[in-house]
Amino acid sequence: MAETSRQRTGELLKKLFEILKLHPEGMPAGKALEALANTVTLTPYESGHYESGVRRFEKIVRFATVACVKGGWLVKHKGIWAVTDVGISADAKFKDPAEFCRETGRLYAQWRASQSRDPVGLVNVSAKLSEQVALSFDADAEAASVTYDRPRSKRGARSNSISTRCHRTIFRISSRICCGRWVTTSAGYRRQARTAESI
């Protein structure tokens, strides 16, 4: 399988930064990618298309810019891309494209390490599902558990169907988070994570 090297990714990012520096107010992403494609010679791999019909070049560049955003070098807002002052100074500091790309990777790793340890976005899932059923999540770095309160009364087939689907969804989410077992509590079912003592 063909891959894009760090050197090549750095070259594309540095060229993109040069284009965006000419537009301090920002530039629509599509136009920036089009301008970039017109200023560089695409490799046969980059010129190729995915099964969805999207050209690889666009995906490669869009994916590479994520690290630039997390590093504070690039701002993306409503489809407009703009280089920050930090990004302009980084572009000047890192002349070698591979070094430039390596630094974006380092900054991304630093950002990633600073994020909460919510393994599958339980905070967001909890907020959306808790309105429909009595549901609570508990996730931390050591263990994760999910509690689902069974409905006390039957409200018809539709209500039962929704709670069954929620229960299955919760089971799938929790089984991805931790190795544990389901136990019945007075409030419903609870998936308990294995601890060092229980192994």
Q: Tell me, what CATH number does 76's domain have?
A: 1.10.10
Instruction: Give the sheet arrangement for strand 135-139, strand by strand.
Output: 135-139, 144-149, 188-193, 180-185
- Burial level of 110, CB count in 10 A (0-12/13-18/19+)? exposed
Per-residue model confidence (pLDDT) at position 157: 47
Among 61, 82, 112, which residue terminates a domain?
112
**Whether residues 94 and 14 fall in one domain:** yes
Range of the domain at 160: 122-193
Per-residue model confidence (pLDDT) at position 75: 95
Q: What is the number of other CB atoms lying within 10 angstroms of the CB of residue 86?
A: 13
**Whether residues 107 and 129 fall in one domain:** no
CA angle 62, 66, 68 (to 5 degrees): 110
**Whether residues 83 and 129 fall in one domain:** no
Residue listed under structure tokens 């002349």: 95
**Whether residues 11 and 92 fall in one domain:** yes
**pLDDT tens digits in sequence order for the chain, 199 residues long:** 347 789 999 999 999 999 999 999 999 999 999 999 999 999 999 999 989 988 999 999 999 999 999 999 999 999 999 999 999 999 999 999 999 999 999 999 999 998 876 555 555 655 565 555 554 555 544 445 555 555 555 555 444 455 556 556 655 555 544 445 555 555 555 555 554 454 4
Q: Model-level pTM?
A: 0.57
